[in-house]
Amino acid sequence: MRRNILVFLILFFFSFSASAQSFRVIHGSDTLYNGDETFVYEDTTLGKVSYAFLDLHNTSMDDKAVQVRKQELSLVSGSENYFCWVQCYPPSVYETTVSLTVDAQTVIKEFEGEYLANGNLGTSRIMYTFFDDDNPGDSVAVIVNYVGTGVAIEQPSYESELSAAYPNPADDQVSFKYNLPPSVKDARVVIRNVIGKVVKEGALSGELGELTIDVSSLNDGVYFYSYILDEQTIITRRLVIQHR
Do 57 and 135 lie in one domain? The reply is yes
Q: Residue 244 contacts by C-beta under 8 Å, 6 or more apart in sequence?
A: 171
The pLDDT-based confidence of 126 (bands split at 50, 70, 90) is very high
User: What CATH number has the domain bearing residue 199?
Assistant: 2.60.40.1930
21-36 pLDDT, tens digit each:
899 999 877 888 998 8
For residue 136, is the peptide bond before it cis, meaning its omega torsion is within 30 degrees of 0? no
Of 148, 178, 200, which marks where a domain is finished?
148
Do 213 and 100 lie in one domain? The reply is no
70-103 pLDDT, tens digit each:
999 999 999 999 999 988 888 999 999 999 999 9
What's the domain range around 101? 22-148
For residue 11, being part of any structural domain is answered with no
Do 116 and 223 lie in one domain? The reply is no
Do 47 and 144 lie in one domain? The reply is yes
Do 73 and 107 lie in one domain? The reply is yes
For residue 14, being part of any structural domain is answered with no
Do 77 and 119 lie in one domain? The reply is yes
| Model confidence at 244: pLDDT above 90 | no
Rounded to the nearest 5°, which phi and psi values hold at 165?
-65, 140
| Cα(94)–Cα(84) distance, integer angstroms | 11
The pTM of this model reads 0.58
Do 112 and 42 lie in one domain? The reply is yes
Alpha carbon 44 to chain centroid, angstroms: 21
DSSP at 215: -
For residue 196, being part of any structural domain is answered with yes
Q: Where are the beta strands (DSSP E) in the chain?
A: 23-27, 30-32, 37-42, 50-58, 64-74, 80-85, 87-89, 100-102, 106-116, 122-132, 135-148, 173-179, 187-192, 198-203, 208-214, 221-229, 232-241
42 vs 116 pLDDT, higher one: 116
For residue 75, being part of any structural domain is answered with yes
Of 92, 119, 148, which marks where a domain is finished?
148
Do 124 and 80 lie in one domain? The reply is yes
Number of separate domains in the chain = 2
194-235 pLDDT, tens digit each:
777 889 999 998 888 999 999 999 999 888 888 888 887 777
Do 177 and 90 lie in one domain? The reply is no
Percent of residues, the chain, with pLDDT higher than 70: 85
Q: How crowded is residue 211: how many other Cβ atoms within 10 Å of its Cβ?
A: 20
Q: How crowded is residue 5: how many other Cβ atoms within 10 Å of its Cβ?
A: 9
Do 219 and 101 lie in one domain? The reply is no
Q: What is the pLDDT of residue 45?
A: 63
User: What CATH number has the domain bearing residue 117?
Assistant: 2.60.40.1090
User: Average pLDDT of 122-137?
Assistant: 94
| Cα(70)–Cα(181) distance, integer angstroms | 36
| Model confidence at 105: pLDDT above 50 | yes
